Amino acid sequence: MGEIADRYRRRADDFERKVAAVRPGQWDDPSPCEKWTARDVVQHIIDMHDVVLRELGRTPRTAPSVDEDPLAAFRAARAAV
């Protein structure tokens, strides 16, 4: 595996652990990003995965919505990469 893929995997592992640690009642809590909730941050990360995939001519996979299951939504975006 290349250096970029290794770096992505490490960062995705870290982010996934953070998402997995959020308790159900915390998803609407404010994030460090002004006016964003914890759920908004996960949605933004997933959206950026989609932007990169589209630039490569790939269509993002169908996944659960962040509103339904933020962790599953991130895992699906990650798997698409």
- What one-letter code names the amino acid at 44? H
Q: Is the pTM of this model over 0.95?
A: no
Q: What is d(CA 22, CA 6) in angstroms, rounded to the nearest whole number?
A: 25
Structure tokens that stand for 72 in this block: 């599953």
- The model's pLDDT over 35-77, given as tens digits with 9 standing for 90+, comes to 999 999 999 999 998 888 888 888 777 778 999 999 999 999 9
Instruction: Give the count of alpha carbons within 13 A of 23, CB side only.
Output: 2
CA dihedral 51, 54, 55, 58 (to 10 degrees): 140
| Average pLDDT score over the chain | 91
Cβ neighbours of residue 19 under 8 Å, at least 6 residues apart? 42, 70, 71, 74
Predicted confidence at residue 60, as pLDDT, reads: 72
